[in-house]
Amino acid sequence: MKKSLSLLLSVLMLSAAVPQAGAAPAAEAGLNLSCTSAVLMEKETGAFLLEENAHEKLEPASVTKIMTLLLVMEAVDSGQLSKDDPVTVSAYAAGMGGSQVYLEEGEQMPVSEMIKCVTVVSGNDCAVALAEHLAGSEGAFVTRMNQRAQELGMADTNFLNCTGLPAQGHVTSAHDIALMSRELIRNHPSIREYTTIWMDSIRNGEFGLTNTNRLVRFYEGATGLKTGYTSSAHYCMSATAERDGMELIAVVMKSPTSNQRFDDAKALLDYGFANYAMVPVYPEVPLAPVDVLLGVQAQVQPQLERDCRLLVRKGEEGQVTTRLSMAQDVEAPVEKGQTLGQLEVYVGDELRDAIPILSSQQVDRLSVPGIFSRMLRKLLMAD
């Protein structure tokens, strides 16, 4: 019993997050970027692979709308909002200017069409109409945007509107854009239905839409996400793409031209796909049942807390190994989800991940009569 308890204590101490090496500077990776700031992130692990002035506070222009879309998609996926709900356009939303689909005051459009207009052509009028529909006013919606930014650890960010139109003090960083981009595409994958549209239309085909993100059409595996431009922010974007089961997020801020923005994003993505891969990890032997002392069931089946896919540099795939630590037995009562052990994942000699192994079910403790009944059965079987 003491051995089981000490093993579980060791597991709890080891289960802290495995530290990750910091992202390499883009220049050291041989990339000659034109932009002021950039990062490359892998979606599943959230690991930063490359960076350039990652925390410099800059104007994001319409890349701001990633947070707008995140709040809208959270409302949709939670059931607070339906994609079929009609959104009525206010005079304020209709008068936004900049990139727009020329909504008129009093016009109604379904949430799904509004989302499409925001993702494909960066419609400022649609972004504000959605914000007002969800929060009552753009100001109230922006308060939610900043609260969500804090929750995501976006310490470089201060939003003043939901569109990215120029406003003194409306800033974020490439690092923070990657954080909100990851949250959107990882937890709300249906956004891809909109961000991968190249050409479409609204108003029964009367108004054509062509995506401002040309990577959607011309880059293999592109999945989104959002472009931005103002004369003060210059050319920005968060570009996402997936190949061989790995999705990357490349953020580019303050590129001199539109072409250079896309070239920088492609260079970052190309580097990631050329140098990294995701490897699925499993225990090297099946997880055997664990004995339960004084339980109504004699054993409990362990299971991994989560699936594991490890981000490795290409060429390291064959160096991935696992080490299993399991309690020999555990005393009832056993709670469902109780820690029974840990699977450690190594690349060479380096610990890269630690996955708790949990009880798949609850096992109650035997009552006193139950204990005597079990003892009696054992005695009778011994005879």
Note the pLDDT tens digit of each residue in 168-199. Answer: 999 999 999 999 999 999 999 999 999 999 99
Q: d(Cα 199, Cα 258) in Å, to the nearest integer?
A: 19
Beta bridge partners of residue 86, listed in sequence order: 110
Q: Domain for residue 52, yes or no?
A: yes
Task: Report how many domains make up the chain.
Answer: 2
| φ, ψ (nearest 5 deg) of residue 192 | -65, -25
Q: d(Cα 21, Cα 5) in Å, to the nearest integer?
A: 33
Same domain? 303 vs 204: no
Label residue 24 by pLDDT band (50, 70, 90). Answer: confident
Contacting residues for 269 by C-beta, under 8 A, at least 6 apart: 40, 219, 239, 241, 248, 250
Q: Domain for residue 107, yes or no?
A: yes
Same domain? 124 vs 46: yes
Same domain? 226 vs 357: no
Two tokens, residue 140: 């109230």
- Checking if the pLDDT of 129 tops 70, the result is yes
Query: Of the candidates 275, 296, 326, which is a domain's last residue?
Result: 275
Number of neighbouring beta carbons within 10 Å of residue 151? 9
Residue corresponding to tokens 């923070």: 176
Active-site pick, 37, 90, 122, 359: 122
- Mean pLDDT for the stretch of residues 107-123: 98
Q: Domain for residue 24, yes or no?
A: no
Active-site pick, 4, 43, 65, 238: 65
Same domain? 291 vs 267: no
Q: Domain for residue 154, yes or no?
A: yes
Q: What is the CATH number of the domain that holds 341?
A: 2.60.410.10
258 is catalytic: no
pLDDT of residue 383: 55
Residue type, 185: I
Q: Domain for residue 323, yes or no?
A: yes
Name the residue range of residue 53's domain.
31-275
Q: Domain for residue 292, yes or no?
A: yes
DSSP structure class, residue 353: E
Same domain? 81 vs 207: yes
Top pLDDT among 368 and 59 is at 59
Q: Across all residues in the chain, what is the average pLDDT?
A: 92
Same domain? 149 vs 13: no
The pairing of strands 329-331 and 290-293 is parallel
Two tokens, residue 29: 């990776």
Same domain? 337 vs 232: no
pLDDT of residue 378: 65
pLDDT of residue 11: 42
Note the pLDDT tens digit of each residue in 296-352. Answer: 999 999 999 998 999 999 999 999 999 999 999 999 999 999 999 999 999 999 999
Same domain? 225 vs 295: no
Cα of 114 vs its chain's centroid, Å? 23
Same domain? 260 vs 292: no
Order of strands across the sheet with 48-52? 24-25, 48-52, 37-42, 246-255, 234-243, 222-230
Same domain? 199 vs 302: no
- Checking if the pLDDT of 78 tops 80, the result is yes
Q: d(Cα 1, Cα 303) in Å, to the nearest integer?
A: 21
pLDDT of residue 28: 84
Label each residue of 97-112 as H, E or C: CCCCCCCCCCCEEEHH
Residue 183 burial by Cβ neighbours in a 10 Å radius (0-12, 13-18, 19+): buried
Query: Of the candidates 275, 302, 333, which is a domain's last residue?
Result: 275
Q: Domain for residue 290, yes or no?
A: yes
Same domain? 268 vs 292: no
62 is catalytic: yes
pTM, entire model: 0.88
Q: d(Cα 127, Cα 318) in Å, to the nearest integer?
A: 47
Short-list 335, 20, 337, 52, CA closest to 174: 52
Q: Is the alpha carbon torsion for 19, 20, 25, 28 positive or negative? A: positive
pLDDT of residue 379: 63
116 is catalytic: no
Contact between 324 and 341 (Cβ < 8 Å): yes
Note the pLDDT tens digit of each residue in 3-12. Answer: 444 444 444 4
Active-site pick, 62, 181, 238, 255: 62
- Mean pLDDT for the stretch of residues 96-113: 96
Query: Of the candidates 275, 306, 337, which is a domain's last residue?
Result: 275
Same domain? 376 vs 268: no
Q: Domain for residue 25, yes or no?
A: no
Contacting residues for 372 by C-beta, under 8 A, at least 6 apart: none
pLDDT of residue 48: 97
Provide the percentage of residues in the chain whose pLDDT is more than 90.
85
- Mean pLDDT for the stretch of residues 200-212: 96
pLDDT of residue 374: 61
Q: What is the CATH number of the domain that holds 59?
A: 3.40.710.10
Element (H, E) at 227: strand 222-230
